[in-house]
Structure 1
Amino acid sequence: MLRMMCKSKIQKATVTETNLEYEGSIAIGKDIMAEADILPYEIVLIVNLNTGARFETYAIPAGKNSGVIGLQGGAARLGEVGDKLIIISYEFVEEEKAKVYKPR
């Protein structure tokens, strides 16, 4: 059996921009994505620490070393510039490995 486990998370990421006119997603600086082992178009869970909102979307890369955390499309309605977020990625792990699993 596979268990869905927290692969990595970005703690207290600060929203730097919002763009309602985009099709949807969260833009994350390439270097931040690499450090958290998040690939382009990977599904992530977003927790807005300011509002308590939780929602899923997919990650798209912003410029390297840009520091961008941008809510795009409908997600732009779920946060404002300055809000603190937790961005969580997941992976499926065999049950035996899950018993000793540690996220990044």
Structure 2
Amino acid sequence: MYTIMLKAKLHMARVTHAVLDYEGSCAIDGELLDLAGIRENEQIQIYDVENGNRFTTYAIRGEAGSRLISINGAAAHQAQVGDRVIICSYAHYAEHELATHQPALVYLQDGNQISHTSHAIPVQFA
């Protein structure tokens, strides 16, 4: 049996471009892709914090160091430049992998600069 688990997350990225007439997908700064372990053409989920939209697309490599987050093609209707988004990828893990699985979490700040990284989401208290 396999369980779908969070593999990687770019937390609070800012959309820098929304390009309707582009060949689809989401272009992400190559350095951010590598740090999060998200591969080119990998399916990603995008959650727009500003408007609540949630949509699926795939990642393409953007210029390294550019801090680019470009929502392209039809998905450009789902987010606007300046919106804060959470970009996640998920993977299937076998039962024996679950005990040691740790997602790659990349937290971003202004200008999509890296604030910090982690492998665990803090416990939420009531």
TM range (shorter): over 0.9
| 1:6 matched residue in structure 2 | 6
Specify the code of the residue in structure 2 equivalent to 1:29.
D
Alignment of 1:25-104 (within 5 A): 25-104=25-104
Moved more, 52-61 or 91-100: 91-100
Give, in angstroms, the shift of residue 96 of structure 1.
3.0
TM-score using structure 1 length? 0.95
| 1:16 matched residue in structure 2 | 16
SS where residue 65 of structure 1 aligns? coil
SS where residue 5 of structure 2 aligns? strand
CA distance in 1: counterparts of 2:64 and 2:17, whole angstroms: 16
Give, in angstroms, the shift of residue 97 of structure 1.
2.0
SS where residue 34 of structure 1 aligns? helix
SS where residue 96 of structure 2 aligns? helix
CA RMSD of aligned residues (A): 1.0
Give, in angstroms, the shift of residue 90 of structure 1.
1.1
Larger Rg: 2
SS where residue 8 of structure 1 aligns? strand
CA distance in 2: counterparts of 1:83 and 1:70, whole angstroms: 11
CA distance in 2: counterparts of 1:13 and 1:101, whole angstroms: 24
5+ residue gaps, structure 2, are: 105-126
TM-score using structure 2 length? 0.79
CA distance in 1: counterparts of 2:64 and 2:102, whole angstroms: 27
Runs of 4+ in 1 over 3 A off after TM superposition: none
5+ residue gaps, structure 1, are: none
